[in-house]
């Protein structure tokens, strides 16, 4: 594995860093306090071509390797991990179509994201099925007309209030079925210019083919306020055969593939957030003086800063290895994807916690960015599989 970036990768990173420095970091606390979904920033990111990174060349006209994708997500997260999560979840929803959809499905379901700045939702988690996907109760079953009907509810769904398409994992036939399917449900297009970004209400979406989708009120979360999260219910949604991705009995395999793709992306979010926490803490400790010297010059504080840096570097190395192995389709890619996800989450939580500590009482004030970062970091240890699930995956492979 070569750690040298190509000229193209350097250009991408330069573009993203300038975008983040212009559109996100200067106004991040005002955005955080506005309680308005930053759809306009998503649109500008779409204009630059730095979202929808998983769409294949056959549809998009160009393609990105997984390492470049991870680096772009890392840089967006440096600005805000909530915005990075909304952008990454577009790829989470679309990656399974890119990996296992037919050519016609890729054109039909991914093409609109190339043409317009739309959002997608990846619908997996349910109120009674978090880490245990086998416990889900959302199902497709044949209706009286011979077509499938989708029914069930999902929770904690990113982009749900503004999604123009839903990628849904569900049981086949009955909740006790051993088979899992992946279906795609297009909905009415929601674009930045028409979206009610400050709305805190439910959304009802009638579907021309039959049935409806209902999204709940946006969740009031501890952190990542700039990422939309809501519940989604599917009520007698008619599913045509061409909306079923691949084999309707192989959804568990498709889910494993997409999570192997997603976990390095979550790791990238964690690394970006952790690096931001280190940078704002360095800036504060260079400015703040106590006992006649800068805080960063005190040995005990400097040891903390060193440990923060080490955690970030270790997490970033794990991220790069995981992205490389997933890109190569290596047999042990899942283990390293889980390792990267855990190390990045630990780095994000450690760096924000220690960063707040070095800020002292000021860090506890909401006007300081470190107080936002420590709240944002908590979810990285949870979404796309909690720490214990990642350790189960690693432990299973070890023994």
CA distance 311 to 329: 27
SS3 sequence, the chain?
Answer: CCCCCCHHHHHHHHHHHHHHHHHCHHHHHHHHHHCCCCHHHHHHHHHHCCCCCCCCHHHHCCCCCHHHHHHHHHHHHHHCHHHHHHHHHHHHHHHHHHHHCCHHHHHHHHHHHHHCCCEEEEECCECCECCCHHHCCCEEEECCCCCEEEEEEEEEEECHHHEEEEEEEEEECCCCCCCEEEEEEECCCCCCCCCCCCCCCCEEEECCCCCEEEECCCCCCCCCCCCCEEEEEEEEEEECHHHECCCCCCHHHHHHHHHHHHHHHHHHHHHHHHHHHHHHHHHHHHHCEECCEEHHHCHHHHHHHHHHHHHHHHHHHHHHHHHHHHHHCCCCHHHHHHHHHHHHHHHHHHHHHHHHHHHHHHHHCCCCHHHHHHHHHHHHHCCCCCHHHHHHHHHHHHC
- Residue pair 365/374 in contact by the 8 Å Cβ criterion: no
Alpha carbon of 109 to those of 64, 243, 318, 386: distances in Å? 19, 9, 33, 30
Q: Name the token pair of 262.
A: 């997603």
Between the two ends of the chain, the Cα-to-Cα distance in Å is 27
Active site annotation includes 204: no
Please identify which of the residues 57, 196, 384, 397 carries the catalytic annotation.
Answer: 384
Known catalytic residues are 384
């Amino acid at each position: 594995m070569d750690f040298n970036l190509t000229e193209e990768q350097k250009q991408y990173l330069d573009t993203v860093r300038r975008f983040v420095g212009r559109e996100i970091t200067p106004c991040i606390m005002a955005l955080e306090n506005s309680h308005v979904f930053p759809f306009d920033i998503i649109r500008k990111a779409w204009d630059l071509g730095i979202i929808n990174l998983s769409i294949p060349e056959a549809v998009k006209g160009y393609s990105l390797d997984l390492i470049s994708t991870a680096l772009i997500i890392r840089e967006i997260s440096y600005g805000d991990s909530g915005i990075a999560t909304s952008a990454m979840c577009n790829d989470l929803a679309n990656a399974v179509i890119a990996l296992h959809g037919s050519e016609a499905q890729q054109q039909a379901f991914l093409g609109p994201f190339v043409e317009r700045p739309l959002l997608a939702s990846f619908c997996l988690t349910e109120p009674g099925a978090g880490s245990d996907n086998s416990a889900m109760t959302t199902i497709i079953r044949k209706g009286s007309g011979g077509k499938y009907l989708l029914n069930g509810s999902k929770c904690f769904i990113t982009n749900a209030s503004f999604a123009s398409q839903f990628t849904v994992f569900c049981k086949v036939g009955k909740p006790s079925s051993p088979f899992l399917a992946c279906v795609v449900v297009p909905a009415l297009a929601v674009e930045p210019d028409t979206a009610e970004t400050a709305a805190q209400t439910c959304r009802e979406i009638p579907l021309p083919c039959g049935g409806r989708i209902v999204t709940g009120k946006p969740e009031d979360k501890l952190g990542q306020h700039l990422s939309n999260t809501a519940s989604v219910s599917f009520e007698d949604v008619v599913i045509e055969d061409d909306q079923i991705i691949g084999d309707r009995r192989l959804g568990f395999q498709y889910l494993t593939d997409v999570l192997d793709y997603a976990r390095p992306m979550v790791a990238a979010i964690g690394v970006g957030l952790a690096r931001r926490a280190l940078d704002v803490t360095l800036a504060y400790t260079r400015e703040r003086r106590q006992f006649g010297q800068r805080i960063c010059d005190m040995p005990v504080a400097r040891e903390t800063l060193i440990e923060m840096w080490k955690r970030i570097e270790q997490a970033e190395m794990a991220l790069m290895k995981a992205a490389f192995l997933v890109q190569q389709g290596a047999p042990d890619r899942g283990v390293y994807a889980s390792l990267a996800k855990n190390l990045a989450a630990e780095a994000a939580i450690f760096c924000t916690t220690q960063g707040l500590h070095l800020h002292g009482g000021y860090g506890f004030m909401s006007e300081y960015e470190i107080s936002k970062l420590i709240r944002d970091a908590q979810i990285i240890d949870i979404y796309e599989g909690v720490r214990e699930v990642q350790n189960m995956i690693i432990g299973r492979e070890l023994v």
